[in-house]
Chains A and B, each alone.
Chain A
Amino acid sequence: MKQRNSQVNERTGCFAQSSTNTVTFFFEGKLIKAKSGDSVAAALLEAGELILRIDPSGSPRGVVCGIGVCWECRCIINDVPNTRACQTEVRPDMKVLRQREDL
């Protein structure tokens, strides 16, 4: 059970990812470009998409804590509801939809 990518980058002090390829996925039917390795939350924020969910009272919600603790960023990813955008890595052709909790 090894950590992924065990090459330390001298300059950044980080483990280097093997590539900086683009990955595309869909948010509410729109095509979004992401970097390989991005989380869904990161990719959507970069693309200016802030609203990930509508809560039961109708208020829009987005990424808040960024580290998987608050569950505010939960949305429907590849038909699985209640999936945290900030803890899910973008995969090619991923389908992300806002979770409508007001309906």
Chain B
Amino acid sequence: MLKKTADVLIIGAGAYGLSCAWWMTQEHNDIDIMVLDGGGFAHGASGRHGAGMRMQWGLEFNILLCQESIRFFEEAAERLDYPEGIDFKQEGYLLLAPNEQTMSNLRSAIKIQHKFGVPSELFTPEDCLKLVPSLNLEGLAGGSFCSKDASASAFKWLDALLKASRRNGAKIEFNTMVNRIERNGNDFIAHTNKGTSVTAGKILLCTDWAVPQLIEPLGITLPIVPFPKEILVTEACQPIIGPMLVDMERHIAINQVKNGNIVFTVTRERKREYSLKSTPGFLNYAAQNILELLPGIGNIQVLRSWCGTSGETPDMQAILGETDIPNLFVAVSAYKGFMTSPAVGRVVSRLILDEEKDNPLISPLHPKRFQTGKLVPEPLTNQAVTS
């Protein structure tokens, strides 16, 4: 039984896990950080999403976390010493509102965003059309646009974090699943499916929908429910869609990435379970909805579709903080992992390493809110739309 030790063991090498590992090793060279992931590179939700990032939210903490993150993404190539870059594209996000009620929500959100210097503006349908000439205006009441919102390659982001963290001395292992955590005095022992064990002074759980199964044996519950979503990507084509589009009626997020491929995240009702399976009805459902919104793109070819699972929480917000067990932390994103990972890495790593124990920025996202009932639902989106 091989015993390894670490000062901090991070379980899950997705966007949150790797970002925390990087921040910890970047700001400290005297602590041992280990990251274990049960799958291969980018196997989880961090490798399966639409890869957009926006500051346009209705709640302060989301606005600030995303704003700080986008600033980091702008300089990611330098900060992580990743010369090839992360395919960063900054042409904004256009949120499309189907009715006056949504327009009203957007208006309120913009007021709050402006408090923090977010350059967002309310758009008429004609403004939307000017920005995206291929849009179908039918059923569109208007929108909200922020030019600093952006997108990047999720894979290059993860690779940059992985390489930089390893250069900093973090030990990162893939295909090693922690299947049981046991308390050992003030420390923990994490047992893996390879028959090895890791003793650690602190554990950070970044396994998203899989967090509950690791903490339940320790007597902690957190309301994280797996929710699978499917997504499709087209061939690379001429740039026709500049900003990332979020259709709040049809629950589609559309991202024409730097290479020219168009990624469509289409949310539809599905059984709440962990799944990577493609469903028979998805492509037709997605294609019909996409062509309603962008009628002229019928000739563009779909290259691939896939499925990923992330976790839902009751208010669809992240869970960041220390659990009831001292030194056992969670960082779960509720479908906003990629876009908040730079900032979350910073605040959570400082939280864990005792530097910023009570950061007011993330206190609304503490796990205890589910006991106190202080949920913080995001006014700008409903349950289903998460991009």
Q: Which of A's residues lie within 8 Å of B, judged by CB?
A: 80-82, 101
- Of residues 232 to 262 in B, which have CB atoms within 8 Å of A's CB atoms? 235-238
A81 touches B238 (CB 8 A): yes
Chain B residue with Cβ nearest A83: B299
User: Distance (Å) between the CB of A7 and the closest chain B CB?
Assistant: 35
B238 touches A82 (CB 8 A): no
| Interface residues in B, total, Cβ within 8 A | 6
Please name all residues of chain B whose beta carbon is closer than 8 Å to the beta carbon of A101 when the two chains form the complex: 236
User: Distance (Å) between the CB of A72 and the closest chain B CB?
Assistant: 13
User: Distance (Å) between the CB of A29 and the closest chain B CB?
Assistant: 21
Number of A-B contacts (CB under 8 A): 7
Q: Tell me whether B359 is interfacial, beta carbon within 8 Å.
A: no
Bound form: Cα–Cα A101–B237 in Å: 9
- Of residues 274 to 308 in B, which have CB atoms within 8 Å of A's CB atoms? 299, 301
User: Distance (Å) between the CB of A84 and the closest chain B CB?
Assistant: 11
Please name all residues of chain A whose beta carbon is closer than 8 Å to the beta carbon of B301 when the two chains form the complex: 82
User: Distance (Å) between the CB of B235 and the closest chain A CB?
Assistant: 6
Bound form: Cα–Cα A89–B173 in Å: 52
Please name all residues of chain B whose beta carbon is closer than 8 Å to the beta carbon of A81 when the two chains form the complex: 237-238
Please name all residues of chain B whose beta carbon is closer than 8 Å to the beta carbon of A82 when the two chains form the complex: 235, 237, 301
User: Distance (Å) between the CB of A24 and the closest chain B CB?
Assistant: 26
Chain B residue with Cβ nearest A103: B238
Bound form: Cα–Cα A80–B297 in Å: 12
Chain A residue with Cβ nearest B259: A56
Bound form: Cα–Cα A101–B235 in Å: 12
Chain B residue with Cβ nearest A82: B235
7 sampled A-B residue pairs with Cβ under 8 A? A80-B299, A81-B237, A81-B238, A82-B235, A82-B237, A82-B301, A101-B236
Chain B residue with Cβ nearest A101: B236
Bound form: Cα–Cα A101–B301 in Å: 16
Please name all residues of chain A whose beta carbon is closer than 8 Å to the beta carbon of B299 when the two chains form the complex: 80
Q: Which 4 A-B pairs have the closest CB atoms?
A: A82-B235, A80-B299, A82-B301, A81-B237
User: Distance (Å) between the CB of B260 and the closest chain A CB?
Assistant: 9
Chain A residue with Cβ nearest B300: A82
Bound form: Cα–Cα A81–B217 in Å: 56
Q: Interface digits, B205-238 against A, CB 8 Å rule (1 contact, 0 not)?
A: 0000000000000000000000000000001111
Q: Interface digits, B48-83 against A, CB 8 Å rule (1 contact, 0 not)?
A: 000000000000000000000000000000000000
User: Distance (Å) between the CB of B45 and the closest chain A CB?
Assistant: 29
User: Distance (Å) between the CB of B151 and the closest chain A CB?
Assistant: 19
User: Distance (Å) between the CB of A44 and the closest chain B CB?
Assistant: 22
Chain A residue with Cβ nearest B299: A80
Please name all residues of chain A whose beta carbon is closer than 8 Å to the beta carbon of B237 when the two chains form the complex: 81-82
Bound form: Cα–Cα A80–B235 in Å: 14
Bound form: Cα–Cα A81–B301 in Å: 11
Bound form: Cα–Cα A68–B237 in Å: 19
Please name all residues of chain A whose beta carbon is closer than 8 Å to the beta carbon of B238 when the two chains form the complex: 81
- Of residues 176 to 193 in B, which have CB atoms within 8 Å of A's CB atoms? none
Bound form: Cα–Cα A84–B299 in Å: 13
Bound form: Cα–Cα A80–B299 in Å: 8
User: Distance (Å) between the CB of A80 and the closest chain B CB?
Assistant: 6
Bound form: Cα–Cα A101–B236 in Å: 10
User: Distance (Å) between the CB of B176 and the closest chain A CB?
Assistant: 37
Chain A residue with Cβ nearest B301: A82
User: Distance (Å) between the CB of B230 and the closest chain A CB?
Assistant: 24
Bound form: Cα–Cα A44–B299 in Å: 24
Bound form: Cα–Cα A80–B298 in Å: 12
User: Distance (Å) between the CB of B182 and the closest chain A CB?
Assistant: 52
- Of residues 292 to 334 in B, which have CB atoms within 8 Å of A's CB atoms? 299, 301
Chain A residue with Cβ nearest B236: A101
Chain A residue with Cβ nearest B235: A82
Bound form: Cα–Cα A82–B299 in Å: 10
Please name all residues of chain B whose beta carbon is closer than 8 Å to the beta carbon of A80 when the two chains form the complex: 299
Please name all residues of chain A whose beta carbon is closer than 8 Å to the beta carbon of B236 when the two chains form the complex: 101
Chain B residue with Cβ nearest A71: B235
